[in-house]
Structure formats: C-alpha cells, structure tokens
Chains A and B, each alone.
Chain A
C-alpha cells in the first residue's frame, strides 16, 4: 500500500459567484521513501494538490489517504507530526517578527516536546546554518538561508512526508543547487517521502523518481525518470514542456 494515495481528487473554488474547478479527478500514489514530482505551468493545479493534502484547499470530490487512513477534515496535531510543507517564497513564509529560535521552537511547544534548546541547535546544524543565527530575524538572512530555516522548521516534528511547493524557484542558481543538495541529503538520512511541485523540469528530474505532468487542473501524463530523460513522452503537452525547458534550450 502506498504512503500517500489520492483518488479522483477535485478541488473547487468559489470566485465572484462562479465555480472554478482547480483540480479535476487527479489520482496518484506515492510509495514510502519515494520522491514524486508534480510539474506544470502556473494555474495547472499542482500546488493546489499539496494544499488540499494539508486541508488548505476546499476538496469537492475524491479521497486523500495517508498510510491508508482517510484525512479527517482540518488537519490535526497527529497529521502535523507526519506531514509538513515547505513553501515557495522564503520571504513570505517566515514570521517577520519572530526570531529563528521562536519559529523553530513553536512546533515543539505546541506538541509538548521538551528538550527545546538541544533540538533547535541540532536543527540549525542539520540544515547547515551557523548556530549564531539562532536569535536573528528573517530580514537579517538571505533568501537561501531563509529557505534553510523553512526546511528546518518543517523537520522539527520529524515528519515522514515533506510537501515541497517550488522550494527553490525564488533562489539563485548556485543557492538552488545547495538547497537541492540539502533536501536530497536529508531525504537519504531520514528516509523521507517527498511530494514536490515545480515548473522546472530539470529540477524535478534531478529530485524525483516519478513525475506527473499537469495542465488545467488535470493529470496529463505520468513519467518515470528514465522516460523523461529518453524523451519518451506520449502527450504533446508534456513534449512542449520538455522542449521549452531552459535546459533543452542550450542543447538545441
């Protein structure tokens, strides 16, 4: 049985009186310790799927199961210990008036986990930030350092699943490389399961074993890493995405 199972998921938003179907009948399954990628243009519904798993989007049909358990509405404390999310924009996802220490220790306080001091220090070490950053504010950090804090925060409760929503698209190329390396190292060390969203096929290819291409809220095509590398896509859309990737541009 897969760790994350999504069956015929639909998400409907109400906007200005009319209904917008953001995700239509999407199904996918992610095995434990697998890294699964969602790729597509903006508005294709890929981020909405992650948000639906966290209970942040109005699910109008279908089912989401984690380890066989259907998600109860409004993700509770138990859910937070298993599933955590890293958001796209490190400038918007950290509380601007909380120190790094407070950001990292809050999940521990909520879940009644002691040993805060040592855990915060270890979290900083794990993501490669100097311990002297502990009492800094987010505005005193660069974008890449902030994203490391966001990753450290997501790992405070030692979850098994990380939902990654474009974790590097706001970062420079070299900082992106460092962040991707960090994520891969943490996955190997802790046996994490990744569900990752990106519009950059090369990033998804580097990080994921299987890929689901999405367009207009629907699943277009599922590819393994080998199929992608061998350009063995069946649908035109997946092919156009492949051709437009900056990586291919240089080769062509």
Chain B
C-alpha cells in the first residue's frame, strides 16, 4: 500500500479578483521513495506540499476526491488528529533558514523545544538527542551551534539545523520545499547528500519540491512537472532527457550549459494549447 495517496487535489482561494485556483486536480501516489515536484513560481508546487499537511489557511480551500496518508483520511481528520501527524509522522523543511527559524531563540532551545514538550524528555536527554541530530546532518561542532542564534549561522548551517529539527521525531514522510535553493552549489551538493543518506537509511518517503529540474532529476526517483496548478508530465527521473512534453523540454532547454553555444537561450512558449 502506498504511503500517501492523493487524488484530484484542488486548492483554491477566494480573492477580490475572483476565484484563484492554485492547484487544479493533482493526483499522485507515493511509496517510500523520492518524488520530485518541479515547476516555476506560481505553478502550485508549494501549495500541493502544504495541502498534504492541510497547512492552507482560509480563505484558501482544499478539496480532493481522496487524500490519505498511511490509510488515514486526511480530508476527514480533525485538527487534533492533523496535529498528531504534523511533525512526528509528516515533516516539512522550508526554503529559507533565515525566515523559518526563530530569530530570538538559540538553536539548541529550538531543537529541544519539541523533545521537551512533545516527548516529555528531561533537559539532559533532550540535549543529547539534539546534539545527536546535529551530528547526523554533519555539523562538526554541535556544541557551538546549540549555543548560537540563527543569524550567527551561515545559510548552509541553518538549513542543516532545520533538517535536523525535522528529522528528530523520525517521520515517515518528509516534504522538502526548495530546501537548497538559498544555498551555494557546493553547499547544496553537501546538503543534498545528507538528505539523501537520511532518506535511504531511515526508509522515509520524500517529496522534494524545487524549481531546478536538473537537481530534482539527479536526486529523485520520479518527477512530477507542474504548470499552472496541473501536472503536465510525470516521468522517471532517468528518462528526463527524453521528456515528451514541450513545457518540460522548455524548462530543460532554457538553462545555460557549461561549454554550450553562445546563442540566445530558448524561451518558453506559454501560448500553446497545453498552457490553458
């Protein structure tokens, strides 16, 4: 049985300008595998990720024929049941450590907060677990990082702290929303390798949301390409270069390549039939 099953998911917002549909009928099944969701800004990829956790506030509305996690119906779950899922079972890593960590709380205190509140651990146990979590994401001097405030960390370190925090309760599903787009290429490669190792070793399911098609292809088993709230193509990551859909091809071709020709980069044709 699949870990997460989503059928005909729709997310819509009532705005002054009328109804805006951010996600228009997305369906997918996820096992304990790595699924990539790619698209440009506004394609609905982030909203899809948030909808799984029901983290969309009114006036936003989530509708789906079916959305089930490990046999549990997410559409019918009460707010209390959802809270029990968020964190321990399904965790989410956000894009930018600058905005997603509490700026006035030391990293250690943020890591230990959940352990103390949720798991009722003693201060000592929580401290040890937090240190272990930081070591798991290859932070070399966890003692110093525990005592640091988020602004004292580099982007790569902050991102690792967030990953460590999300992995402490050992979730079954990790939703990573652009976890490396605020990072440099070299650091990006490191963080991805860490994430990859953790997902493999713990047998987690992963939804990896990104605008970088090549990164996703390298890192995931399967890729969903989204445009304007719809999935335009689904394919195995290794078949990416043979993508059929013009949008996917467009996304690939508009990226410059080292040693590539110096001609103008091809743009995306947004007026074709599929774009409506």
Q: Which residues of A contact B (CB under 8 A)?
A: 41-43, 143, 172-178, 180-181, 184-185, 199-203, 205-207, 228-230, 240-242, 244-250
Contacts and interface: CB of A to CB of B under 8 A. Distances in A.
A173 B40 contact: yes
A41 B211 contact: no
A240 B186 contact: yes
11 contacts: A42-B155, A172-B211, A173-B211, A180-B256, A181-B267, A200-B185, A201-B258, A202-B255, A206-B260, A246-B215, A246-B218
Contacts, number: 101
Nearest to A182: B264
Contact of A42 (B184, B240, B241): B184
A237 to B, nearest CB: 9
A44 B214 CA distance: 25
Given A41-B184, A241-B186, A250 B258 contact: no
Contacts of B154: 42-43
A126 B200 CA distance: 51
Most chain B CB within a 10 A radius of its CB, from A184, A185, A241, A245 = A245
A249 B196 CA distance: 15
Given A200-B185, A246-B212, A177 B155 contact: no
Interface in B18-58: 40-41
Interface of B: 40-41, 154-155, 184-189, 211-215, 217-218, 240-241, 250-251, 254-260, 262, 264-268
A113 B268 CA distance: 38
Contact of A206 (B40, B189, B262): B262
A175 B251 CA distance: 10
B40 A228 contact: no
Contacts of B262: 206
Q: Which of A176, A244, A246, A247 is most buried by chain B, counting CB atoms within 10 A of its CB?
A: A246
Please classify the interface of chain B as helix (H, G, I), strand (E, B), loop, or mixed, using the class held by over half of its residues. Answer: loop
A132 B59 CA distance: 32
Contacts of A246: 185, 188, 212, 214-215, 218
Q: Considering residues B187, B218, B265, B266, which has the most beta carbons from chain A within 10 angstroms of its beta carbon?
A: B265
B40 A245 contact: no
A245 B185 contact: yes
Contacts of B260: 202, 205-206
A177 B212 CA distance: 13
Nearest to A175: B40
Nearest to A202: B256
A173 to B, nearest CB: 5
B179 to A, nearest CB: 14
Contact of A229 (B187, B215, B240, B259): B259
B262 to A, nearest CB: 7
A203 B256 contact: yes
A177 B265 contact: yes
A41 B251 contact: no
A172 B211 CA distance: 7
Contacts of A41: 184-187
A247 B215 contact: no
Contact of A181 (B41, B214, B218, B264): B264
A75 B66 CA distance: 62
Given A173-B40, A174-B268, A181-B265, A247 B186 contact: no
Given A172-B40, A205-B259, A177 B184 contact: no
B251 A173 contact: yes
A178 B256 CA distance: 11
Given A173-B212, A250-B218, A229 B258 contact: yes
Contacts of A249: 214-215, 218
Contacts of A240: 186
B254 A248 contact: no
A174 B184 contact: no
Nearest to B266: A177
Contact of A244 (B186, B217, B240, B241): B186
Contacts of B268: 174, 177
Contacts of B185: 41, 199-201, 241, 244-246
A174 B186 CA distance: 23
Contacts of A203: 256
Contacts of A185: 264
Nearest to A39: B185
B184 A184 contact: no
